[in-house]
A and B are shown apart, each in its own frame.
Chain A
Amino acid sequence: MKDKLEALLREGAEKIQSAKNEAELQEIKGYLLGKQGKVTEIMKEIPKLDVSLRPEMGKAVNNVKNLLQEQIEGRREELKMKASEISPDFDYTLPGIEPQIGGLHPITQMCYDLNDAFRSMGFEIFHGPEITSEYFAFDKLNFPPNHPARESMDTYWLEGHDSGEANEKLCLRPHLTGGSVRYMKTHKPPYRFVYPGRVYRNETTDARHERAFFQYEALIVDKDFTYTAGKVMIKSILSKVFGQDVPVRMRAGFFPFVEPGFEIDMGCLVCGGKGCSVCKHVGWIEIMPGGTPHPNVLRAAGVDPDEYTGFYVNIGLDRLVMMRYGVDDVRLFHGTDLKFLGQFR
């Protein structure tokens, strides 16, 4: 009988350890300790024994029973700790729940990226009025009196304010440079500031032309600032915004408010300068005009052009965003379509 008990103890221990979950364990418990269980079976044999042996065997059976009981409880604790609260058919491959967030307009995003880059170089941010007089839209900027842009075909003049002297004629600003003059008039050089904002042109629209679009003007006025330093500035800014080294070239260009004036190109990031449809196979993309502020502009702002010079660029934000994301229609920016705007995080 002792042998039987020992065998049962071994068998029981093995079975208990092999239980994979509580249900299995419960079954094993029944098999070992239940009313028809193995222990009970042995227990029933005790009355058949010699009286003198009964107490000892009774003890031994109880001992085994307790040992098994303990092992079962131990195993039960173990299984409890291991078990998941969720059933095993949980599907970890289901898509994640996206955080519900809105978004900034892609042009605002670009604008903030540039702000961060320029601010890291000590630039201030400036904002000015969108309705301006002809005086600040053109006269202050060295636009000759017969410049085509002054005519209504290009500028939105305000009803009831579309004739008279230059300081009486009012329009939606056709560019930001006049606003820059406002800054210069109210600050003392040297200075460096950026001026992001929307401008308006009375034009026929298509995929590449808009009546309202965004410019980002940056201006440094300082003593003896050479255009080659300007090139370094542009390169640093673009490289920070695009997160890679961006080649920049400056070539001859003409704008009334700069002298010398440049067309500034950046290396095409789509093809790496090899030539592709985005850059019309030249490897360069015209990105902004720039140059040294024209002495007449500095003078208009009350700055002595013999003492001060500087560097100016006017970045077309719409075009930069189009380049960044491959957007092919400039009108989407003012189109208020959330299916478009929601794409930019």
Chain B
Amino acid sequence: MSRLVVGPFNRVEGDLEVALDVADGRVRSAEVSASLYRGFENLLLGRDPLDALVLVPRICGICSVSQSAAAAAALAAAAGLEMPANGRLAQNLIHACENLADHLTHFYCFFMPDFARDAYAAEPWHAGVAERFRAQRGSALADWLPARTDFLRTLGYLAGKWPHTLALQPGGTTRAITATEQVRLAAVLREFREFLETTLFADRLENVAALASADALFAWAETRGDADFARFVRLAAGLGLDRTGRAADRFLAVGAYAGAGEKGSALFPAGVREGAAGAIAAFDPAAVAEDASHAWFAGDAPLPPARGETRPLADPAAKAAAYSWCKAPRYAGRVVETGALARQLLAGQPLAVDLVATRGGSVLARIAARMVEVARVLPAMESWLRAIVPGEPFCAEWQAPQSAQGVGLVEAARGALGHWLTIERGRIAGYQIVAPTTWNFSPRDAAGQPGALEQALAGLPVADGDKAPAIVQHVVRSFDPCMVCTVH
């Protein structure tokens, strides 16, 4: 058996190391390590509750709004506060803009460049894919980056700047847009739709959102020429990426875009589901516990976040079993996967359901779920924008409670994010964060269960002497990890 250490793992947000034990040409087991500790949970203690809105976005430059939204939701829950309709619509627009930009930044900047590697030079598709997706130089960046900047105007209008806005408040948003700004925002969304419908899909968003099976997806990709997502689907089918990278196949979501679904529910529901055949169980925040048995923290017993603690070890080497600054969150003691695939599976989107039912979670399923989500969310954004009534309020007044607890649950691009807040005597007395990649990239727990990525890596083929197996790159990046959130 040989050990292969892969790091620094580029084109993920933050610092990541993956150690693989390889035997007989296969990964026998994997250890996923977050090699940076940041300590935000402790920075928050003793502060004014509203200061969380300044600090938590700065955990992460790519899911900054998700962190804001979770903090605002936790504060609102603690205060029992409801926000006016315009505030909810504006928060959802702001959050959706970040999430969609993240999905596509992941696709164009982080994920696709691996197919331009020389390792694939013998593939018939390589020359075209390399021209299009080569890191830093591919022609796709010249299309995507300006489209992204234009789309981020949504945040310029509604949130002032990005990342690290203070526009999301417990009571709504700080920026009441005018009727003329509503018209301009409609143009921003319209032009982004044009980008998606020409460059990414070569098809109407509604047709992509309606893709109903793996077979339909493969057939669709054959008819879409050089559209970027279609290119990926074709090469992924050829490489078998629809059957690569399966993790625990237990999926968790906490609900995305509050109030945007039927009868005031979330647009994409919360829930927990085993594969595609299992029943959907309700998500119970009380079933979440974080285990630090294999992390460089003191305290081995799993703790619910409401009573959680973060005590980094002054001498990490002294804890032999530990190999990461990431704790191991578990749901009812089990490993779960979170992200766009979980959201779309739990929302019953037929392509996501079929991919998981026929093949289990995979590299292709995770990417396809993101793209289907893009195709579903932009039309929702268009409807939210139309529903804003200029002149009506955007923000409810509030008073921070002196003593209270609140949980804020939102869906970042890369999955479920929870903030558990305790206020005592008007100050933050407890703050625990469980981030999406903490779920997906967790180390082992006390029972020895490997985390979701660790499971997805086991069994992958690794050629003798290959120091950077492409297949490992694809599987790791298919989760769209955010390590800086992980090690908050």
**Are these two chains actual partners, yes or no?**
no
On A, residues with C-beta under 8 Å from B are none
